[in-house]
Structure 1
Amino acid sequence: MSNRKIGPFELGEKLGAGGMGIVYRAVYTKTGIPCAIKVLAPDVNDSTAVQQRFEREIAILKKLQHPHIVRYYGGGKVGNQRFYAMELVPGGSLESYLKAKRKLPWEEALEFARQIAEALEHAHNAGVIHRDLKPANLLMTPDRQLKLTDFGIARDTTATALTAAGKTVGTYAYMAPEQIRGKPPVDRRTDLYALGCVLFEMLTGETPFEGDNPGDVLVKHLQEEPLRVTSFAPDCPIWLEDLVFRLLEKDPENRPYDALAVQVALEEVRQKVAQQASLVGNTLAGNATKTQGAGAAADVRAALGKKKKRKKREQAPFYEQLWFLVLCLVLLAGTAYGVYWWRNREAYLFARAEALMSTENEANWLSARDYYLKPLLAKYPRGEFASKAQEYLERIEITFLERQARSRAMRNIEPKSPAEAVYMEADRYERFGDRITALHKYESLIDIFKNETGDNRLFVQMARQRVAKMRAEGLDKRDVVQIVEDALKRADELEASGQASKRIEARNLWNSIVELYADNQELAAHVETAQERLRRKPGGK
């Protein structure tokens, strides 16, 4: 290949190959400037679709001029061979760098993430979504500047789409859930998810989701949560770990808004780490008491200096000697710092938890539980914030316990406990609109299980909350008979509308009447009416 030419370029060694093209080291013969040449692979060179993708990649690179994106020099066609020239980046890829280093110090990973975010911001502002961000597509200069390359499957939102709707494209280890499903929105936040995967890998030496085969990995992207970064890299700042989790959110809406927001977040991590280091440094240095300590030591030395005039056999008692007084000062300062650290560590843990709990994002609640609330209660069980931390933990437990109970009910799985069975029965009456019966069921649950522990205790607490909410909102003035009659009337109206979705809603109402009131003799006629409606064919009279 060393003597092969294509246009004004002399090709050298092969640098890499992908599904669409091959990249060679080359020299521009007119000037002797080294560059890289990408040519279409011979086995796909005649494919119209591949040719269109290649032309699109060129069009994308033409409009992207950024220090962290590989620069496009020009391209063309010689005979039947399409090619383009681009900047030669001699330092290898981030992938090879990670293979050599395994994982990176958090400071270096943060800097690389910032560079990637800058490249993505520029691309996104130009309407380009990369869709294949990974370490192999991040080239590195000798001075460790990253350059994003390979826009072969990038999507230009300003141009006509070439990718068929619903088609999955990308590298499975870094693919966002929406990308795996092949459904919109595949937008700038899809690239941010991939950035989260790359950042996770830089910090830990592993991709967020590992598996025996690509299918396992894709399922984990869709269904599982990543492990904690700090379990692999204990020195990683918690703020950086939080950012990684936000980037890896399953729902694009819960990720950072754009690449600029990621850059801001990364800079905030730097600042918070610096502030923390400054605080610890000042505290350890004892700036607040240093002058006083120095003055006290000077006074001690002055006082003891006078005693040097005494005869040696009249040596001062040990508690008046310099070493003892200095030791006392050190112990006093250490105790003061220990108290300060103890109290402020608790306050810090609670502040972090409170910030996460104030959001609507339940993934943040789990982070608050695992990283701050549980450690706080373990270290400070009788601390200033212990009771409030316990309240937050209970709130989290209740939220997820109720969700699990609803999930079991929807799938017709037996409740895990009698308390759950009563609670879900009450919940169904409440959702049907019969708040009178629901209230009775909730109060019965509270009375029966009020002295229980574990999950039963939580269901009691949940029932109390529902009772308080219902009483605050005011109870329905209708009796149960009127509630069911109104439901029958509503169902008939929905059925008569002729709309499929409303007919389904009508049948759900009739089913609820049959299932909830089958044993109520007072409502036997109403139950029979609902059964008769269900026996009719949809839309029948």
Structure 2
Amino acid sequence: MASCILEAHLQSLSISDQVGKGQLSKVVSENRVASTLEQVEPTESSQGPPPRTDAKCSRDSSSPSSAIFYVAGSERASYRQVEGIFRDRRKARMIQQPVVSRIHLGMFEIGKPLGKGKFGRVYLARERDHGFICALKVLHKSELREGRVERQVQREIEIQSNLRHPNILRLFGHFHDSKRIFLILEFAGQGELYKRLRKAGKFSEPRAAQYVAQMANALRYLHRKHVIHRDIKPENILVGLHGEGKISDFGWSVHAPGNRRKTYCGTLDYLPPEMVTTVTADQCYDDKVDLWALGVLTYEFLVGEAPFEDTPAMTYRRIARADMKIPSFVSAEAANLIKSLLVVNPEKRLSLEQIQQHPWVVKHCR
């Protein structure tokens, strides 16, 4: 049953490591995360119609979590139910090797476009047999090769498929055909946070505090797993069916057990001083870059624009000095949180634990 395959067979799929030669192929890569990041140039995605239904799939044997995935309103599908239905399938595979269950695009009804990412388009989708609602992200292999982002996509899949948190968008797995890769993602029913912010102009302090607390909680989870996100911004956050924020884009994320990196990457308005200043051969940064980005995010939630927004050259200079002005309509408590995060010295930034205990957050998130 396809809704169960999504969970039981596609938890930890990844693209083959043999991408340096321009080949994107299937391979199961369980419990392994690439930790080398090449600096790459994103490429624009195509504007084609919904994808055709001739895709292949890879097999995965990892077990699902017990969390609940809400498909529409009060309808829901349990990951434990998903696992149970496919228990017999897995036993059959063990006895009758090799047997490969296949997922293909024909198992899904493709709905309206949900958005356009760096390298592809995202569609609303429903598994035909059981009504499992998800989002299907379509990536064109030729564009990934042209943009030299094969390793980046590989890393994104490997990291995100191993994450289980209510404020992180779930990646159930992927399958592919000769031209495309399809990512099976959790459907975030209330859409893009960026669009909600642009429509509102700015958020109220209670609403902003709720999102900040959720992002701090998600980042604590990531950092415990030695994952640095490196690109926290409104465009990379979706809103779930119940209004919860979900980090959705892991294109620049990295698994760094040593917690030290040198690669320049991310979005200029959200980069910390340690990334925009001259980097010597022995100069590194760590997961505190995400703390700075959370400070920028908090400012943007409350003011409606990024704190260092200017011409590119001036933005670099202002970030390096933490040169910003907080409007008077921002409360003193919120301003204190922002100033405690947008600190040039990474070691002096407020920790994620301290953010969750900050008076402004506690006041609005009881």
Please name the residue that 2:166 is paired with: 67
Please name the residue that 1:4 is paired with: 52
- 1:138-149 alignment to 2 at 5 Å? 138-149=237-248
Please name the residue that 2:95 is paired with: none
Contact kept in structure 1, 2:156 and 2:253, CA below 8 Å: yes
Paired amino acid for 1:269: W
Please name the residue that 1:494 is paired with: none
Please name the residue that 2:324 is paired with: 226
Q: Which has the higher strand share?
A: 2
1:97 aligns with 2:205: no
1:214 aligns with 2:282: no
1:264 aligns with 2:360: no
Taking a change above 3 Å as real, the CA distance of residues 89 and 159 of structure 1, as seen in their structure-2 partners, is farther
CA distance in 2, matches of 1:117, 1:160: 18
What 5-or-longer segments of structure 1 have no aligned partner? 275-541
Taking a change above 3 Å as real, the CA distance of residues 217 and 260 of structure 1, as seen in their structure-2 partners, is same
Structure number with greater CO (CA < 8 Å, separation at least 6) is 2
3-state SS, counterpart of residue 133 of structure 2: strand
- 1:11-50 alignment to 2 at 5 Å? 11-41=110-140, 43-46=142-145, 49-50=148-149
1:174 aligns with 2:270: yes
- 1:115-134 alignment to 2 at 5 Å? 115-134=214-233
CA distance in 1, matches of 2:293, 2:140: 27
Contact kept in structure 2, 1:134 and 1:198, CA below 8 Å: yes
Report how far residue 85 of structure 1 moved: 0.6
- Provide the alpha-carbon RMSD of the alignment: 2.7
CA distance in 1, matches of 2:142, 2:314: 30
1:153 aligns with 2:248: no
Please name the residue that 2:182 is paired with: 83
Contact kept in structure 2, 1:138 and 1:146, CA below 8 Å: yes
Contact kept in structure 2, 1:26 and 1:35, CA below 8 Å: yes
3-state SS, counterpart of residue 288 of structure 2: helix
Contact kept in structure 2, 1:2 and 1:10, CA below 8 Å: no
Report how far residue 45 of structure 1 moved: 3.1
CA distance in 2, matches of 1:48, 1:205: 32
Paired amino acid for 1:180: V
TM-score by length of 1: 0.45
Paired amino acid for 2:334: L
Report how far residue 4 of structure 1 moved: 2.8
Paired amino acid for 1:4: R
Contact kept in structure 1, 2:356 and 2:362, CA below 8 Å: no
TM-score by length of 2: 0.65
CA distance in 2, matches of 1:123, 1:262: 15
Taking a change above 3 Å as real, the CA distance of residues 68 and 270 of structure 1, as seen in their structure-2 partners, is closer
CA distance in 1, matches of 2:193, 2:362: 26
Report how far residue 225 of structure 1 moved: 2.0
Taking a change above 3 Å as real, the CA distance of residues 2 and 83 of structure 1, as seen in their structure-2 partners, is closer
Contact kept in structure 2, 1:10 and 1:27, CA below 8 Å: yes
- 1:97-496 alignment to 2 at 5 Å? 97-158=196-257, 167-181=263-277, 183=279, 184-211=283-310, 213-229=311-327, 231=328, 233-234=329-330, 236=331, 238-257=332-351, 259-265=352-358, 268-269=359-360
Report how far residue 168 of structure 1 moved: 2.2
3-state SS, counterpart of residue 242 of structure 2: coil
CA distance in 2, matches of 1:25, 1:130: 25
Q: Greater CA radius of gyration, 1 or 2?
A: 1
What 5-or-longer segments of structure 2 have no aligned partner? 1-48, 56-103
3-state SS, counterpart of residue 46 of structure 1: helix
Taking a change above 3 Å as real, the CA distance of residues 3 and 85 of structure 1, as seen in their structure-2 partners, is closer
Report how far residue 43 of structure 1 moved: 4.5
Q: Which has the higher helix share?
A: 1
Please name the residue that 2:67 is paired with: none
Paired amino acid for 1:228: I
CA distance in 1, matches of 2:236, 2:267: 11
Taking a change above 3 Å as real, the CA distance of residues 272 and 53 of structure 1, as seen in their structure-2 partners, is closer
Runs of 4+ aligned residues of structure 1 deviating over 6 Å after TM superposition are none
Paired amino acid for 1:156: H
CA distance in 1, matches of 2:259, 2:292: 24
Paired amino acid for 2:168: I
CA distance in 2, matches of 1:159, 1:253: 17
Contact kept in structure 1, 2:213 and 2:361, CA below 8 Å: no
Contact kept in structure 2, 1:166 and 1:182, CA below 8 Å: no
Contact kept in structure 2, 1:175 and 1:194, CA below 8 Å: yes
Paired amino acid for 2:344: K
CA distance in 1, matches of 2:111, 2:228: 31
Taking a change above 3 Å as real, the CA distance of residues 74 and 30 of structure 1, as seen in their structure-2 partners, is farther
3-state SS, counterpart of residue 138 of structure 2: strand
Paired amino acid for 1:248: L
CA distance in 1, matches of 2:341, 2:125: 38
Q: Between the two proteins, what is the percent identity of the paired residues? A: 31
